[in-house]
Structure 1
Amino acid sequence: MTIKKIDNFNFPVGEKQLSQDAYYKALSEANSGFYPFGENGIWHGGFHIDEGVLKKVDNDGILRCMAHGEVVAYRVNNIYHKIVYLDNVELKTPYKEQQKVAYFSTGFTLVRHLLQMPKIAGATATPPSITLYSLYMHQLDWYGYQQKGQESGSQVDYPCYWQAQAGKVDEKKAETIAGSVIREKGKDTKIVGLLLKGSKVRLGEQKANMSGWYKIVSITAGTVVTPNGLQNELGNITGYVWHNDIGKTAADRPTGKTAEANKDYEICKEDNKKVGKPEVEVKGIAVYGTANDSQKLTYLPQTATFELDGQENGYAKIRKIDNCTVPAVLVAENGGDEAPHKGYVKLTSLIVTQLKPEKLDKVVVLKTPVPINKGDFIGYIGHNVSQSERFDEPKEAPLSNMKRALDKQLPPMAHIELLTCDDLPAFITKTRALAGKLPESEKSIILVEKEARLVQAAKPAGWLSSGVAIHFTDTTESYYIKIKPVYTVNLPSRFFHTSTEQPLFDPGVGKVVNGINGKIQAKSPSAQPYTLTASEKMYVRRIYPELTEADIPDKVELISGGKGQDTTLPSVYSEPANDEDFFTIRFMIENKPYWIAASKVLHLNGEDGQLNSSVSYWHDFPLSLDDNLSPQEKKRNTVCYPRTVSLISLENDGLIAIEDENTKWVQVTALDEQTLPIHGWVNIKDNAQAHIKRRSPWHWPGFETIEEKASIGELSDKIGKNKVAKLDLADYTPAMRALHQILTGTLIYSTQRKKDLPPPTFTDRDLKEGLRRSWTAELIGHLLVKYESEWYADEALSKWNEIDDLFEEEKQQQKVIIEAGLDKLGITEPYLRDFALDVVDEAHEHVKSNWQLEKAQRIKPSLWWKQVAQAQTQNQTTSTEQSNANTNTNTSKLSNLSTDGKAWFIHPVAMVDYFNVRSAEIIFPLKVKPINNFDMQFGKNFNWTKNNNQTAFSSSRNGGRKHAGRDLYTEPKEDIIAVSDGVVLKINEFYCYTHQITVKHHTNSGREFIIRYGEVDKESIKVKTGDFVKQGTVLAKTGLLLRNVRATDPQSRIIEVDIDGESKKMTPLMVINGKIIYMLHLEYYSGNSGLDLKKSLTDKSKKPYERRDDLTDPIELLKEGYSNSFGADLE
């Protein structure tokens, strides 16, 4: 089995991913459960997601896997555990019928991950790697899943790592069935059936004049495949079988003119996959005798459905088969009605329709870990009702089938952790030593050092009025974008003068015209050239005073004459405000650049259109490093506390401004010397701005490793003492000291607040405040702490028993405080003082008794670490190898959990969008496998990887031309994606009503080349010339080659399609076996003739390809991308 390496981390809740800042702020809304320890001083290696957090991020209650990996263990409660507290024991009716309870889940999922540094160019050594684990604790119980299934209209998801209970054949994964031929009249005649290997048949006479071909009389056991499917009897099939396909030795085969009449001959070969005329392939699912492929029993048709009884080694055990005829070989002896059938099927060949945990209330350690991808369903958030949240519940349920309180009555809560049992400091040291050798594209962390200056946008040059149209000249996803204003103006007809210039089009024909910037415009209104006079320009400037005389061109477009158009709505005709007739002109400002904030034109979705409000503009890029600020302005914008920000998060939040291809600015928030937040921009071009550096995540900037050795009792004791009396900093534990330093940087401790505040006491209030401030939240997230997991303990709970000894000390401390208070109040009466102290004794006894309940009934049932670690050691579930889809380097061994419970804990939010491991330089240009793949429906005759068919590079075309690329066939309109980063050079028409997109690509290692993505669907194109595209960006969808209908075309071939907004009847060029083919035609240019289009890619003089000289077969690039995208090599 292989494990897919980590490429990045997601937050475990919410489909839409937010920034680290947003997640830290959301976590500040939790009631409790902060990293690295709680208000009670108990170690806490993760964070809680409760109702407060869910309101800020997502409220669907679903937990999703944070990164690619494999599930190694899980536990699902049948019904939540319940603690019954003793609060109501002494109470009278009606309260005695109630009891104080707290429901909680011990359900969890443990996922193992592999994090590996990218390979250094030219290096031969395997890059450093580390094994991580993510934990998802307190999940929904099995009863909760059942209740969800009973809700009206509910769609219930089930984790992929549970055991399959039922399934159906996945038609996309169905196998082509192979067998031994039955030929209608013997050798070289029509194949009327395929006999599956192992089938037993009765034979008759040998075919006259055709030695070795025997007539088949009947099937006594087994299956025959026909064009219509699978059957267990011959039916109306008549034909002959070849004697060498029978038996394993000559003694097992028929001889002479007639076969033995009562002998069952066994079929021993399966060397043909075609049947019928025309020949077709029949697909089905293979059934095996054991949980491996060593003994194939038979095939079943695609209609088959299964009830299953567990799984092993990637195979599901069959309990019952439905929706097809079941061959005798799959009938279980003494199986009964509940399990009448037998055999195994590959899980990968099934669509699993029902799953269930392998065991309930038990830790399940998977012998074979189950792969899981980032974002996959882990489970539903469950509950962990704390002692302080306990509530009254009737001792007897109001309904007999009600097993617990309803989910809506219980507060949702999940506990999330990320950890490693490897040597994390050593791993960081290794990666830091190599990080400087990574390419610039890997440097996705911006380090904002002390003394860095945040840049503010310059004062706008002016304002564009609402109603002015704009033309986008820049389609990059940037905070500021370039546009050209387009003005449509109604001029009084008294200005109109005759023009002798020829129109841009024939208005009588009513065709589309090339309007501004060569773009195709609507058919109406019509347009023709018109020359403005000086008086007309002056009139225009009176309407739009922001325009200069130079802005208004001499030649404009005349849109209409006579009754004019509304100035602000040029596409809507309206009567003028007075009786004077108007004519309408349109022009674009070409003499100067315009920059605007992209957020002001979101309503246009990147398409040319009108402003719906006034928008400020700049003629120069709004951000500049020009040092023309006053000393006060410099001081106000100078960073005093360093921080790091993720370039990936900034991209997701739209906080990147692209000045040109080589210059980017990012918006950051930092602290000034008053510890007050400041916002502004920094230039991230290498060495462009002082104190601004780009770092790779493998530098681990700002991260601090801390080995905390205080026991639970010591940690709790010190934090407790710090609440009631000032604990000397020298007595702080390492983790306390680090957290203290961070929290004193929060706004509460700013110089604008009281300077005599006591030090942080690590209360929930302190931790919430820290998470609300992005700079302190980042520092908390960068604490990497080694400690013993709270899910590990010995049988006696020794470490938790340390808390017991603290109760007496705490009680005595409280008595001292109360006695001091009584003295201050002048209360000296012994009975009053004794009463007050007795209350303390009673309260502490109550607390101690509840603590004993918590230990025995909550903490102990929640433990799992020891069981998993022991099982891993016994099962040796160290998975193995890295996926070929993620690396070409040597494999890295995965490690198990530590046997002593010690681990390095990492704040999961610190990893969100932190890594962007792009181990694949090249990916496949489609999100799906082509249907002319070797293992798909057209693989044999149209296999794009082979050189023996029309899809291949260099295959012959009409007129002696040779094919200049590779054709990838698909289902209708599949997404085409960029194989690597690049820039769009050109988009134009291609063959047969399709278009092409030409992209200059580059990779992290410095490879550069040009790809022509041809025969794409015109209407689906999502990019424009000049766009920068990232690897995986959707460029367009696969296209359909069309030609005009001919009189000889059968009606069945003619389809109706939309072309340029008109419905037309056309004939598809590519139809195979009645299936209309969509495709991507891909051409590869090495760049030897230039990495631009100064030399056109198409050159009719260059025979035989009619392409420029650096055209190359793209097969190796496609194979590389295929392996990286699909994790498999091509046959």
Structure 2
Amino acid sequence: MAELKPINWAYPFPSKDTSNNPLQLLTHMAQAKGGFYPTGDNGLWHGGVHFDEGTAAAFDQSSVRCIADGEVIAYRIDKRYPVSEFTDEIPRVKRAPFSTGFVLVKHRLQPPPLRNADGSIAESPPPPSLTLYSLYMHLLDWAGYQAQPNLPHPAFWGTSRCTVNTQNQGLSVRASPNKNAAKLSELSRGAEIVVGETQGEFSKLVSLISGTAQPALASDDKGQLSGYVFTSLLKRYSEPAEYDRVVVLDNGLPIKAGDLIGHPGLYQNHDSAAQHMVHVELFSCDDVPGFIAQSRAWASRLPDDQKTLLKIYKGASKLIAHREGISAGNPPKLSDAGTQIGVDLIIPQALLDGLPASHKIQVTIPAEGSTPASTSSWWRLDGLFADDNGNPIDGWLAEQELITTRHSPWEWEGFQCIEETGTPVEKLAYAFNARGLLSTDEQHNYRAQINRADGGPIVTLARLYDIVDTDKDGVLTSAEIRTALAKPWHAQVLGQLITKYESEWFWNKDKWDEVDPLLAEEPSKPNSNWEVEKQRIEKLSWWKELAGQHCISGEGSAWHIHAPMLAVSFTRAEKNTCSKCNKSISITYELMKKICPSSITDDFIKSFILHTNRLFKKYEITSCDQVTHLLAQAKHETKRFTAFRESLYYSSYTAQDLYNMAPTAINNGLIRKSLTFATHAEKLKYIEDNLLKNDAGYGQHCFGSKEYPENDYRGRGLLHLTHYSNYQSCALAIGKPIAAEPTLVESDVAVIVETGLWFWKSNRLKAYAEDASLTEEDAVEKITRTINGGTKGLTERKQFKREITKAFIELYGNCST
């Protein structure tokens, strides 16, 4: 039986929250300016969530990432944003851009197979499966990409076509991705080629479309041309197949969780300013209630290690407030005074595993008589719970048999399926009435619609969970939904709601025309802005162009699921373990406090830990040896984690050196050869302003480029990424515009870390760190030569490696097989 691989999950935007708390990520959605789930700020149905200016403080929204493994089946990109012309009260025409660009990805959700005692897959019917679709709406237009040439492009556009962009000569083809490798051929200037994966500063050559290769190149066993070419000397031609229309792919293109989807586009409503925004939505056209019933039955046969969710029940557990002295040696006790928890909440194991070591205690209870020894767990949980009166409470929680329960995500614990029936006019009338915008006559005329909306399943559910009526008026408003979303227990309830409703991307003229009288400025006088809005809704729609393809339903209805909530439920804690000792590979707060100077702030350490541990597996940091070597090199390169920008001050430069490096015009302007400087700062400024840009061995590579002549590409980041070509290659790999904005590599901790890990992997430094035939000192030297181009600082690098290894062993023990 073929192995069934579960899909991986990711968030569409990385969190800026260094706690990496998945339930807090749900509460950040309350900061969106209007796009909530399952109803928007205007009271209308809303099947997705918005990431906009309101959420920008909580998430890195520079690029949009795919939320799960799947395949791209359709997309649309505006050549230039369409514009709606609204009329305001002056009157004055207001031109409002709105992105219709989107990407649609198809996924297959399926529980893991059952296994025999020996670990082999059991012979049984396959697990139930569900087809899901993730939608990323309002993406950047093509004009936006043209205005930012270094902005990474989605891979499914086909980013492989390039031309050789050399000045006068051709482009060498090397036998391996190394500038010292044997030269196989030379491509003519302007030759059009197709390239494959990027390795360091080089790209794999795939085929030659036009131009010449002298001598001719042979193909490898995959039918690709042999050799590698220098990436920075290529000009990429990457653009969608078509513009301004839906492109449906007959055969979906594979995409992985975390891969680039695109970038936020502009969207402006008639009554607000333009903002960058993305609508993220998850839905299924399958029988979701039927799948959930099958999934629950299947989950009952799965082993206990699949139970990665801990459920806390209202009125059953208590939180014990933290006090000075609580530790593994002095844990809390169930008999301690505490506050009873007044809400239900399901906590992912990923959240518990991600807590700092000081917030996790395991207590071993010795055996007594026939009762075997056991271990109980305590966690210090802040910002998650409330008491019976809704007041937030923090403290220590114990996992208790029968009091707390464990569940598999495949049980869909807490999820509820409802079929919403309200029409737009009913929902809008209800929302207007809740905000006091209806006249007495309108209240009378729309009483039936208001009552139907008031009795609808979403409002009924909200009342059941005490989400509504904060002002005791019996009415659900968008403001009350926003308030509820800021509380983890309410955000989870709304996030677990699975709603069947007609998609907002399915154009249905009749249902929107029903709203005309409600929005009319006066009887028989249409609202001109509403007419423009309806034209916009039609232009945004895409559903009918996919209906009947890729299993998309024809009638436009679907089961809508809260995308971030599903990612929270199904994302397991990544256990990146050492290939030698099988211990968890991660950097901890305790380790960083041991190896960092006391001046390094806790905020930096926490952010550094978050991003290294998040990215280690991606960049194949899979051994204790790699971690200690990496940290030793980084500690030297960054002056003990204090300087993520190379100073360019070299004390070895004498006055004569400076004179010899200076351009002729400066030389001629000097009265004498000996240069003196009152301070080091003056000497540094002179070096930067006049000399290094003309130093063939250094400055010509580090200062400027044809695209960005004013930029400075000195060493920055964890391993001091240097030279424009490296910035450019790294930008394409990590999806950050660091070639255009190199200072990101010194100011953004996520970028500082990822550029260093990219360099480590791209230059195969793992091989030296894990080479058992090398002594530790020899491995340090080989890694140093790759990073530094020589052996500068070798003595200190070796010292740091010894010190960090010692600290590592003190905290975690020896790494051995």
Give the match for residue 414 of structure 1.
278
Match of 1:912, SS? Answer: helix
Instruction: Tell me whether 1:658 sits opposite 2:361 in the alignment.
Output: yes
Q: 1:21-45 deviations in whole A, cap 9, x for unaligned?
A: 4333322222212111224442210
Where 2:319 maps in the other structure, the secondary structure is coil
C-alpha displacement at 1:1061, in angstroms? 7.3
CA distance in 2, matches of 1:228, 1:27: 49
* Cα shift at 1:80: 0.3
Q: Secondary structure at the match of 2:55?
A: helix
Matched residue, 2:151? 156
- Quote the residue 1:852 is aligned against: 531
Distance 2:330 2:495 in 1: 39
User: Residues of 2 paired with 1:1041 and 1:38: CA distance?
Assistant: 62
Structure 1 residues 1056, 32: closer, same or farther in 2, change over 3 A? closer
Q: Are 1:52 and 2:46 matched, yes or no?
A: no
> How far is the alpha carbon of 1:780 from its aligned partner?
0.7
Question: Is the aligned partner of 1:700 residue 2:589?
Answer: no
Q: Deviations over 1:79-118 (max 9, x none)?
A: 0000122448x96xxx7xxx31110000001112222212
Residue 443 (structure 2) pairs with residue 444 (structure 1) = no
Partner Cα separation in structure 2 for residue 120 and residue 348 of structure 1? 45
Matched, 1:789 2:790: no
- Structure 2 residue aligned with 1:734: 457
Structure 2 unaligned blocks of 5 or more = 117-121, 165-171, 197-203, 365-374, 587-621, 633-765, 778-784, 801-812
Name the SS for the 2:569 alignment partner.
coil
Displacement, 1:709?
3.1
Structure 1 residues 71 and 1059, CA gap change in structure 2 (3 angstroms):
same
Give the number of the structure whose residues are more often helix, by fraction. Answer: 2
User: 2:267 aligns to what SS in structure 1?
Assistant: coil
Q: Cα gap change, 1:80/1:316 in structure 2, threshold over 3 Å: closer, same or farther?
A: farther
Structure 2 partner of 1:887:
none
Q: How does 1:993-1032 map to 2 (within 5 A)?
A: none
- Cα separation, partners in 2 of 1:659 and 1:863, compared to 1, 3 Å: same
Give the alignment's TM-score, normalised by structure 1: 0.45
Q: Deviations over 1:172-204 (max 9, x none)?
A: xxxxxxxxxxxxxxxxxxxxxxxxxxxxxxxxx
Aligned position for 2:330: 620
| Residue matched to 1:861 | 539
Alignment partner of 1:745: what SS? coil
Which of residues 325, 342, 346 is equivalent to 1:640? Answer: 342
* Deviation (angstroms), 1:782: 0.8
**Structural mapping, 1:473-872, within 5 Å:** 619-621=329-331, 623-626=332-335, 628-629=336-337, 637-654=339-356, 656-659=359-362, 662-668=375-381, 669-684=384-399, 688-720=400-432, 728=451, 732-742=455-465, 744-745=466-467, 749=470, 757-761=472-476, 763-793=477-507, 799-808=508-517, 841=522, 845=525, 847=527, 849-856=528-535, 858-870=536-548, 872=549
SS in 1 for 2:58: helix
CA RMSD of aligned residues (A): 4.9
Whether 1:325 and 2:28 are equivalent positions in the alignment is: no
- Secondary structure of the equivalent of 1:47? strand
Task: Quote how far apart the aligned CAs of 1:737 are.
Answer: 2.0
The corresponding residue for 2:7 is 6
Contact 2:12 2:67 in 1 (8 A): yes
Q: Is the 8 A contact 1:452 1:638 kept in 2?
A: yes
Q: In 2 relative to 1, CA 977–388 (structure 1 residues): closer, same or farther, beyond 3 Å?
A: farther
- 1:423 positional shift: 1.6
1:620 positional shift: 1.7
Once the two structures are TM-superposed, the CA of residue 166 in structure 1 deviates from its matched residue by 2.6
Cα distance, 1:1014–1:44 mapped onto 2, change above 3 Å: closer
* 1:179-218 matched pairs, under 5 angstroms: none
What corresponds to 1:916 in structure 2? 571
- Partners of 1:229 and 1:1036 lie apart in 2 by 23
Structure 1 residues 344 and 437, CA, compared in 2 at 3 Å: closer, same or farther?
A: closer
Query: Which residue of the other structure, out of 260, 270, 275, is the alignment partner of 1:387?
Result: 270
Give, in whole Å, the separation in 2 of the partners of 1:377 and 1:783: 28
Task: Determine the structure 2 residue equivalent to 1:64.
Answer: 65
- Please give the residue correspondences for 1:936-951 in structure 2 after superposition, counting only pairs within 5 Å: none
* CA separation of 1:136 and 1:142: change in aligned 2, threshold 3 A: same
Q: Are 1:78 and 1:360, in contact at CA under 8 Å, matched by a contact in 2?
A: yes
Q: Indicate if the aligned counterparts of 1:646 and 1:913 stay in contact, CA closer than 8 A.
A: yes
Shift of the 411–674 alpha-carbon distance from structure 1 to 2, 3 Å rule, reads: same
* AA in 2 matched with 1:766: E
Distance 2:485 2:40 in 1: 14
- CA deviation map 1:115-139 (0-9, x unaligned): 2212222232322222211111101
The one-letter amino acid paired with 2:159 is: A
Identity of aligned residues (%): 27
Secondary structure of residue in 2 paired with 1:56 = coil
**Correspondences of 1:1088-1099 after superposition (within 5 Å):** none
Q: 1:120 to 1:979 in 2, by over 3 A?
A: farther
C-alpha distance in structure 2 between counterparts of 1:112 and 1:789, whole Å: 16
- Asked if 1 retains the 8 angstrom alpha-carbon contact of 2:217 and 2:225, the reply is no
One-letter amino acid of the counterpart of residue 845, structure 1: K
Rounded Cα–Cα distance in structure 1 between residues aligned with 2:529 and 2:518 = 18
Deviation at 1:46, TM superposition (A): 0.4
8 Å contact kept, 1:649–1:913: no
Which letter does structure 2 place at the counterpart of 1:101?
Answer: R
DSSP 3-state at the match of 2:538: helix
SS at 1:124's partner residue?
coil
Change (3 A) 1:4 1:62: farther
1:738, CA displacement in angstroms? 1.9
Structure 1 residues 383 and 1061, CA, compared in 2 at 3 Å: closer, same or farther? closer
Shift of residue 327 of structure 1?
A: 4.8
Amino acid at match of 2:525: E
Structure 1 pair 701–304 and aligned structure 2 pair: CA distance change class (3 A): farther
TM-aligned CA deviation for residue 347 of structure 1: 13
SS at match of 1:841: coil
Q: Distance in 2 between matches of 1:642 and 1:1044?
A: 52
Change (3 A) 1:425 1:303: farther
Matched, 1:30 2:25: no
Q: In the aligned structure 1, how far is the partner of 2:513 from the partner of 2:139?
A: 29
Deviations 1:866-904 (A, max 9, x none): 21234x35xxxxxxxxxxxxxxxxxxxxxx322222211
SS at match of 2:547: helix
Secondary structure of the residue aligned to 2:49 is: strand
Q: CA deviation at 1:791?
A: 0.9
More strand by share: 1
Q: Which amino acid in 2 is paired with 1:1041?
A: S
SS in 2 for 1:430: helix
Which residue matches 1:152? none
Q: Is the 8 A contact 1:8 1:912 kept in 2?
A: yes
Matched, 1:370 2:253: yes
After superposition, give the CA deviation of every residue in 1:1023-1050 in whole Å (9 maximum; x if it has no partner): xxxxxxxxxxx999414634799xxxxx
- TM-score w.r.t. structure 2 length? 0.60
Q: Which of structures 1 and 2 has the bigger CA Rg?
A: 1
Q: Would the aligned equivalents of 1:45 and 1:905 in 2 still touch at CA under 8 Å?
A: yes
Q: What displacement does 1:851 show? A: 1.6
Is the CA contact 1:449–1:692 (under 8 Å) kept in the aligned structure 2? Answer: yes
Taking a change above 3 Å as real, the CA distance of residues 915 and 1062 of structure 1, as seen in their structure-2 partners, is closer
Aligned-pair distance for 1:453? 2.4
> Could you say if the C-alpha distance between residues 866 and 1014 of structure 1 is closer, same or farther in structure 2, counting changes exceeding 3 Å?
closer
Change (3 A) 1:309 1:864: farther
CA drift at 1:705: 0.6
Instruction: Kindly state the Cα deviation for residue 349 of structure 1 after the two structures are TM-superposed.
Output: 9.0
Give the aligned length: 572
Structure 1 residue 110 and structure 2 residue 104: aligned? yes
Q: CA deviation at 1:772?
A: 1.2
Query: Any conservation in 2 of the 1:445–1:644 contact (CA below 8 Å)?
Result: yes
Contact 1:70 1:112 in 2 (8 A): yes
